[in-house]
């Protein structure tokens, strides 16, 4: 693993799964194990983001796995129907995760727990990006990943010496991270609301540096990955638990294919396991037929690709260097030739967008028979360079609307009204019965078909006002 893969990452000789001396000593003084309540809040967006089956919250499962070494941990997930208690008297620490779209909800829970004199922790991408705002609603904000500051946080909780912000100076290598203990989610009474796909993590970070994405802000240029054996062991443990080889995994990585060598080695090994998988991926080397071949052979049934735009000026303006328009069709045909379906992400509302962007996207989707197109409106998330640039033009700062389905600012080359009309029309065109048949004919009868039918139903009733 060359050193330049680890920007600001602790050297591996610091690696130690044992508790360090000082924390060991502090833990020994803890007479009664403190009780944590970990909360995944449900957003209050008007869109369907948190409805239907949801993925198990790997972020909180990782926090729970770590915290359960020194504390008693209960995890509740409001998205599955778990109720957040009004009264937190059974707990010492109330720890909440938040993205922007559920920040309002997270803050309300935090305020309530603070008023009951609990230690309140806020973590996740939104509190990380808006430290000043988040510290108003909690005892401490955890900046970025919890693993890199765990020892300090755990000792302070036990000793009652909390700081306002916990932020690691260096990121720990991923090899040091414990395997997530899924029992925290699987044993919950509403576990049947979780998707069958098991979340898994092989890499962290993405140095591509798109200006609208929070990942480069949180992790900088670093790109870290777990040893391949650790990823495979985790997959095998789920195969053993479920008593079958054919287990579905969903990679939570920001960009799993960023290092081609690591990615293809991982896939070669996964091909021997007989699993199925899907992942977010950038296009950096997907135009090479051998990459699509190994993806298909290793059990990939769906790739989520951020095509973002068919407009070259937009791609340039967002810094998305990995997306080369001339490769788009080759990427798609390579994957299709190997039985991999495509969830294609497309964004609208950039300053360089015009009506032509919609026509070009429609043509691309239909000609290339993209199975599951997903459309969103560009959303400047706090903490990104794009947010700083657009702030004076942003229409609202109600975080419930930061779900990528709301109209955030008027683009320069198309009026807001035209933007939304075209946005609705495109979705209706792509998901009308005839278009679904054209894109999906002859493809396996699986959940992607069902998703198309659901989208047909949803888009038929769609109105531009829904996005305001």
54, 56, 60, 63: CA torsion to nearest 10: -170
| Count of chain residues binding ligand B12 (CB under 6 A) | 35
Site for ligand SF4 contains 201 (CB under 6 A) = no
Helix axes 260-271, 228-242, angle to 10 degrees: 30
Whole-angstrom distance, CA of residue 129 vs CA of residue 381: 9
63 interacts with, out of ligand B12, ligand SF4, none, CB within 5 to 8 A per kind = ligand B12
Give me 263's structure tokens: 């990615």
Tell me the window of 4-12, 83-91, 93-101, 428-436 that interacts with ligand B12 (CB under 6 A): 93-101
299 dihedral zone (left: phi>0; alpha: psi -120 to 50; beta) = left
Q: Is residue 234 within the footprint of ligand B12 (CB under 6 A)?
A: no
Residue 280 interacts with ligand B12 (CB under 6 A): yes or no? yes
Tokens 């609307």, residue located: 401
- 74-82, 108-116, 208-216, 349-357 -> range binding ligand SF4 (CB under 6 A): 208-216
Pick from 82, 234, 254, 400: which binds ligand B12 (CB under 6 A)? 254
- Residue 8: count of CB within 10 angstroms of its CB: 12
Among 252, 256, 275, 322, binds ligand B12 (CB under 6 A): 252
- List the one residue from 26, 37, 146, 174 that touches ligand B12 (CB under 6 A): 146
**Binding of ligand SF4 at residue 39 (CB under 6 A)?**
no
How many degrees, rounded to 5, is the angle at CA 211 between CA 208 and CA 213?
75
Kindly state whether residue 213 participates in binding ligand B12, applying the rule CB under 6 A. Answer: yes
- Which residue, 186, 49, 167, is CA-closest to 105? 49
Closest distance to ligand SF4 from the beta carbon of 281 (Å) = 9
- 305 scored as a contact of ligand B12 (CB under 6 A): no
Q: Which range in 212-220, 258-266, 314-322, 457-465 contacts ligand B12 by CB under 6 A?
A: 212-220
Nearer to ligand B12, 55 or 317 (CB): 55
Cα(328)–Cα(345) distance, integer angstroms: 13
CB 70 within 8 A of CB 27: yes
Binding of ligand SF4 by 209 (CB under 6 A) = yes
Alpha carbon of residue 414 to chain centroid:
30
- 424 contact choice in ligand B12, ligand SF4, none (CB below 5 to 8 Å, kind-dependent): none
CA distance linking residue 132 with residue 350, whole number of Å: 28
| 436 torsion bin: left (phi>0), alpha (psi -120 to 50), beta (else) | alpha
Report residue 460: phi and psi, to 5°: -60, -35
What is d(CA 356, CA 2) in angstroms, rounded to the nearest whole number?
Answer: 44
As a whole number of angstroms, the distance between CA 233 and CA 270 comes to: 11
* 139 counts as binding ligand B12 under rule CB under 6 A: no
Q: How far is the CB of 434 from ligand B12 (least distance, A)?
A: 26
Among 249, 375, 381, 423, binds ligand B12 (CB under 6 A): 381
Q: Is 203 in the site for ligand B12 (CB under 6 A)?
A: no
Q: Using DSSP, state whether 345 is helix, strand or coil.
A: strand
Rounded to a whole number of angstroms, the minimum distance from the CB of residue 59 to ligand SF4 is 16
* 93 near ligand SF4 (CB under 6 A): no
8 Å CB contact between 226 and 203: yes
* Residue 306 engages ligand SF4 in binding (rule: CB under 6 A): yes
Residues 6+ apart with CB under 8 A from 9: 170, 171, 172, 173, 222, 224
* C-alpha distance across the termini of the chain, in Å: 48
Residue 49 engages ligand B12 in binding (rule: CB under 6 A): yes
Stretch that binds ligand B12, among 209-217, 237-245, 260-268, 313-321 (CB under 6 A): 209-217
Judged by CB under 6 A, the residue of 64, 119, 168, 210 near ligand SF4 is 210
Instruction: With contacts defined by CB under 6 A, name the span among 99-107, 228-236, 332-340, 416-424 that binds ligand B12.
Output: 99-107
Tokens of 36: 């944590």
What is the closest distance, in whole angstroms, from the C-beta atom of residue 89 to ligand B12 in the complex?
19
Q: Which 250-269 residues touch ligand SF4, going by CB under 6 A?
A: 254-255
Residue pair 214/265 in contact (Cβ under 8 Å)? The answer is no
Per partner kind, with CB cut-offs from 5 to 8 A, the member of ligand B12, ligand SF4, none near residue 209 is ligand SF4
One residue of 40, 215, 379, 452 binding ligand SF4 per CB under 6 A? 215
Residue 215 binding ligand B12, by CB under 6 A: yes
Question: Tokens 């990104």 label which residue?
Answer: 384
Contact set with ligand SF4 (CB under 6 A) = 206, 208-210, 213, 215-216, 254-255, 282, 306
Contact set with ligand B12 (CB under 6 A) = 43, 49-50, 55, 57-59, 62-63, 95-97, 99-101, 121, 123-126, 142, 145-147, 201, 213-215, 252, 254, 280, 376, 381, 403-404
């Amino acid at each position: 693993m060359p050193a330049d893969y680890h920007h600001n990452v602790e050297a591996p000789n610091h690696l130690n799964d044992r508790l360090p001396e000082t924390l060991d000593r502090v833990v020994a003084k803890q007479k009664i194990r403190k009780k944590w309540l970990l909360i995944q809040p449900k957003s209050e967006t008007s869109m369907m983001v948190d409805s239907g089956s949801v993925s198990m919250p790997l972020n909180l499962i990782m926090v729970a796995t770590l915290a359960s070494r020194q504390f008693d941990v209960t995890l509740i997930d409001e998205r599955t129907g778990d109720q957040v208690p009004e009264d937190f008297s059974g707990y010492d620490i109330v720890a909440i995760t938040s993205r922007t779209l559920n920040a309002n909800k997270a803050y309300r829970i935090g305020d309530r727990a603070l008023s009951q004199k609990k230690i309140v922790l806020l973590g996740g991408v939104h509190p990380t990006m808006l430290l000043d705002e988040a510290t108003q609603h909690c005892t401490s904000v955890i900046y970025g990943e919890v693993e890199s500051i765990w020892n300090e946080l755990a000792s302070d909780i036990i000793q009652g010496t909390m700081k306002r912000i916990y932020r690691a100076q260096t990121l720990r290598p991923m090899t040091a991270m414990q395997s997530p203990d899924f029992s925290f989610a699987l044993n919950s009474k509403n576990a049947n609301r979780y998707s069958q796909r098991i979340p898994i993590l092989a890499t962290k970070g993405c140095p591509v540096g798109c200006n609208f994405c929070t990942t480069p802000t949180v992790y900088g240029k670093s790109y870290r990955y777990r040893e391949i054996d650790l990823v495979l062991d985790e997959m095998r443990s789920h195969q053993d638990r479920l008593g079958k080889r054919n287990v579905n995994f969903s990679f939570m990585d920001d960009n799993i294919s960023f290092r081609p060598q690591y990615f293809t080695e991982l896939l070669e090994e996964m091909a021997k396991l007989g699993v199925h998988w899907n992942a977010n991926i950038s296009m950096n080397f997907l135009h090479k037929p051998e990459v699509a071949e190994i993806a298909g052979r290793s059990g990939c049934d769906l790739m989520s690709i951020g095509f973002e735009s068919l407009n070259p000026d937009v791609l340039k303006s967002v810094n998305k260097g990995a997306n080369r328009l001339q490769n788009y069709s080759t990427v798609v045909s390579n994957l299709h030739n190997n039985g991999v379906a495509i969830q294609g992400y497309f964004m609208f509302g950039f300053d360089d967008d015009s009506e032509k962007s919609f026509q070009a996207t429609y043509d691309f989707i239909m000609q290339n028979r993209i199975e599951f197109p997903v459309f969103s409106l560009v959303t400047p998330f706090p903490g990104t360079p794009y947010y700083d640039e657009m702030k004076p033009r942003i229409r609202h700062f109600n975080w419930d609307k930061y779900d990528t389905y709301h109209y955030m600012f008027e683009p320069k080359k198309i009026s807001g009204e035209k933007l939304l009309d075209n946005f609705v029309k495109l979705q209706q065109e792509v998901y009308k019965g005839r278009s679904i048949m054209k894109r999906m004919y002859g493809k396996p009868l699986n959940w992607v078909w069902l998703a198309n039918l659901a989208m047909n139903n949803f888009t038929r009733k769609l109105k531009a006002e829904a996005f305001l």
